[in-house]
Amino acid sequence: MNKQVVARVQAEAADSPISRQEQKLRKRRQSKNAVLVLTVVLWLALAVGGYLLADRYIDQSRAYIDQRLKQVEAFNREQIQTVEEHIASVQEVLNDVREELEYIKEDLELTGETINGTDQTKQALEKKIEELTSQLGELKNSLKKLEDAARAW
For residue range 89-107, list pLDDT tens digits in order.
Answer: 888 988 888 888 888 888 7
pLDDT band at 153 (very low <50, low <70, confident <90, very high): low
The answer to whether 80 and 147 have CB atoms below 8 angstroms apart is yes
pLDDT at 15: 53
Q: How far is CA 126 from CA 30, 45, 86, 90, in A?
A: 100, 79, 21, 16
Beta strand spans in 22-148 (E): none
For residue range 105-127, list pLDDT tens digits in order.
Answer: 887 777 765 545 566 777 888 88
The answer to whether 79 and 150 have CB atoms below 8 angstroms apart is no
As a whole number of angstroms, the distance between CA 52 and CA 63 comes to: 17
Measured torsion, CA atoms of residues 41, 47, 50, 51, in degrees rounded to the nearest 10: -120
For residue range 10-35, list pLDDT tens digits in order.
Answer: 656 555 556 777 878 888 888 888 89
